[in-house]
Structure 1
């Protein structure tokens, strides 16, 4: 029985010793936390007071800023994910370069306004929105421009444009050969209004292959059958509806007509193709006529 009692006493002594050691360790941790917070408070309160008195407040602000950035990175607030929505034609490498942040850099230093401005400079981007999603994600949403027509340049080349007249880059021309071809120095910036009117009558718009800007004020429309439609400077919509009515009543688009002039609101002038005009001047003689 004495041996058993001795073992119990030894076990109790060891337990009391461990409790004392754990208590000391716990106290050390508490003291360390207190010292850390004291140092933190000292840096962010006493530090600025001391620097302010010495006229070095700007130095303190820089130190505080750098320390905040470092602490945020230590807590995992770095760029790990970049989520992009709305991108279809925009070059992904150009987009990443415009965003301007690589994974691993502190997310708190990311300037969303500057990034948005850089992204909107890309030719296919009409508008963009950029935001931080803490702790580690950048959210980028873009609205791309929609191709409207091909603009024929002076050297015979073609440039894809949108409704604002913006020139789009990095595209395959073959993907847009179905779009109307525009001619004229100021054609790109005026094309949207004209084409919006032309599209109101879908079966006529399907026949449109191109449009020429005349005198910086009006349009001539070219159709797939070789016909040219001269539109007025004002009330283009009324003139275009008149063309539809003429086609319904007289099958105008099926006739040998070269030019339909709709510039006057109360009358229409028609010019025949050279072959049809010649036949009209010199109709074929009837068989048996002397």
Structure 2
């Protein structure tokens, strides 16, 4: 029995020794693996960034950069996906050309700032954000310009946004419902004027155009052919006064050609030619009206 017990103890000692050696080996492999990946990551990411920002051009640094780029490609850090959000009117081909990165190229060499600047030069793009999502994805988020009005020029109508920026690559027929602006400096001042007019949606729905007068103020044209002369200052108050006059006297439904609101304490009205003629020469009694 003592011999059997001794054999069992020896077997248990051998198993424990084997298990201890296996555990040490596994831990050592794990440590080596973590160290290898950490070193590679530092080389792939920190190395190229350090090179970009220090501006050092020594031969050994250049070689290290080339090697880092090569290793990054080998472990899959290449452009495989380009995700775009916010695009509606921007031409897809023009956008991809502005991004300027082809699938399969190393992602760590991609200059996000340069790409953003190129994208923001596109007509419909107001702002852009470009990011890298390692290991293989570029994310592009754009905010497009919103058409505000049609600006009438000597050569035709131009679509503009709130900043007065001329948009390109569009079908004019898609925007014929927008107000038409006239005047050399109309596009620079359109945003303030239209923002004021939109404060009273009922009236704004009647607006078809606006003319900039003397680089100082606006004449507004309504769908019924009536013109509203707004003042140079306190435009919002004048527009609200028009709303009050219409609600009290239905002035916008009468035979009126011009409503002059330039003076703050009075309103001048000019009748249409037909209504003015009837007022000068009213029909005689007994005649058909």
**Normalising by structure 1, what TM-score?**
0.79
Name the residue aligned to 1:236: 235
SS in 1 for 2:170: coil
Name the residue aligned to 1:4: none
| Residue 59 of structure 1: how far off its partner (Å) | 1.3
- Structure 1, residues 84-105: CA drift from partner, whole Å, max 9, x if none? 0000000000000000000000
Q: Is it true that 1:98 corresponds to 2:98 in the alignment? A: yes
Name the residue aligned to 1:170: 169
What are the residue-to-residue correspondences of 1:107-256 with 2, within 5 Å?
107-155=107-155, 157-256=156-255
| Residue 67 of structure 1: how far off its partner (Å) | 1.0
Equivalent-residue separation in structure 2 for 1:185 and 1:88 (angstroms) = 30
Name the residue aligned to 1:257: 256
- Structure 1, residues 160-181: CA drift from partner, whole Å, max 9, x if none? 1111111111111111111100
Cα distance 1:57–1:106, how it changes in 2: closer, same or farther (>3 A)? closer
Equivalent-residue separation in structure 2 for 1:123 and 1:216 (angstroms) = 27
SS in 2 for 1:267: coil
Equivalent-residue separation in structure 2 for 1:69 and 1:201 (angstroms) = 59
Name the residue aligned to 2:74: 74
- Structure 1, residues 74-133: CA drift from partner, whole Å, max 9, x if none? 111100000000000000000000000000000000000000000000010010000000
Unaligned runs of 5+ in 1: 1-29, 45-55
Equivalent-residue separation in structure 1 for 2:104 and 2:265 (angstroms) = 70
Name the residue aligned to 2:277: 278
| Residue 149 of structure 1: how far off its partner (Å) | 0.6
- Structure 1, residues 12-65: CA drift from partner, whole Å, max 9, x if none? xxxxxxxxxxxxxxxxxx9xx9xxx9xx9xxx9xxxxxxxxxxx9711111111
Equivalent-residue separation in structure 2 for 1:101 and 1:237 (angstroms) = 49
| TM-align CA RMSD | 1.9
Equivalent-residue separation in structure 1 for 2:84 and 2:132 (angstroms) = 12
SS in 2 for 1:127: strand
Q: Which has the larger radius of gyration?
A: 1
Cα distance 1:66–1:238, how it changes in 2: closer, same or farther (>3 A)? same
Equivalent-residue separation in structure 2 for 1:280 and 1:154 (angstroms) = 39
Q: Is it true that 1:58 corresponds to 2:24 in the alignment? A: no
Equivalent-residue separation in structure 2 for 1:57 and 1:178 (angstroms) = 58
Q: Larger deviation: 80-89 or 170-179?
A: 170-179
Equivalent-residue separation in structure 1 for 2:133 and 2:153 (angstroms) = 45
**Normalising by structure 2, what TM-score?**
0.79
Number of aligned pairs?
A: 237
Name the residue aligned to 1:25: none
